[in-house]
Copies of this chain bind each other. A is one copy, B any other.
Amino acid sequence: LPRSAVELRCQCISTYSKFIHPKFIRNVNLTPSGPHCKDVEVIATLQDGSEVCLNPSAPWVKLIIKAILDK
């Protein structure tokens, strides 16, 4: 099962605030807020497989997502 199928609560306790260069990002998962969690959650999987929660309101996070889509 993909993780999204079993999420019943927020996945992010805190968000990583420093800039992460897009080359280190393998993928980004966006989860809208909903009954399971009041927060929008943005989880980046890095090239080494680790996962970090990002702040959906941070301008650099929006820019990275835009850059991925526009490439």
This chain's copy number in the assembly:
2
Contact B4 A40 (CB under 8 A): no
Interface residues of chain A: helix, strand, loop or mixed (majority): mixed
Contact A27 B32 (CB under 8 A): yes
Q: Is A12 an interface residue (CB 8 A)?
A: no
Binding site for B on A (CB under 8 A): 2-5, 22, 25-34, 40, 42, 45, 49, 51, 56-57, 61-62, 65, 68-69, 71
* Distance, CA A70 to CA B25, complexed state (A): 21
Contact A32 B65 (CB under 8 A): no
**Contact pick for A65, options B5, B25, B57, B65, CB 8 Å:** B65
Contacts beyond the supplied A2-B45, A40-B68, A42-B69: 4 A-B pairs with Cβ under 8 Å: A26-B32, A27-B31, A30-B30, A30-B68
